[in-house]
């Protein structure tokens, strides 16, 4: 079992059913469906726990919508920007805000 997976691996029957459901949704492989369904790298390689496979089967059978790829990219960009900003000195941020016409007060 891959690192990070908790629980017994999915059965071959579950995996083949998942593949059939994804093909019906228009994806030839798990990798192609990775972003659309928010799959991890391990899952994109076809490795699921029983619980993960069951949850994805439920999503596909119940017709739950795909994860919006544009939203995922925007969230990833926001996370990256927030991480960069946390590493900047406060004075640099204040100077940039002032340059853009904002008023800045010390806490």
The whole domain housing 25 covers: 12-61
Residues 75 and 51 in one domain: no
**pTM exceeding the 0.85 threshold for the entire prediction:** no
Residues 16 and 56 in one domain: yes
Count of domains forming the chain: 2
20 found inside a domain:
yes
Does the structure show a pLDDT above 80 at 23? yes
5 found inside a domain:
no
41 found inside a domain:
yes
For 35-51, how does the pLDDT look when each residue is reduced to its tens digit (9 = 90+)? 888 888 999 999 999 99
Can you give 37-84 as a three-state secondary structure string? HCCCHHHHCCCCEHHHHHHHHHHHHCCCCCCCHHHHHHHHHHHHHHHH
Residues 55 and 79 in one domain: no
* pLDDT value of residue 1: 43
93 found inside a domain:
yes
């Amino acid at each position: 079992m891959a690192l990070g997976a908790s629980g017994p691996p999915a059965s071959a029957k579950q995996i083949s059913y998942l593949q059939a459901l994804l093909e019906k949704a228009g994806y030839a492989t798990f990798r192609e469906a990775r972003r659309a369904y928010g799959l991890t790298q391990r899952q994109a390689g076809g490795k699921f726990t029983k619980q993960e496979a069951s949850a994805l089967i439920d999503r596909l059978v119940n017709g739950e919508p795909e994860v919006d790829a544009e939203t995922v990219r925007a969230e990833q960009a926001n996370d990256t920007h927030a991480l960069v900003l946390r590493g900047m000195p406060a004075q640099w941020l204040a100077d940039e805000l002032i340059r853009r016409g904002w008023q800045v007060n010390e806490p």
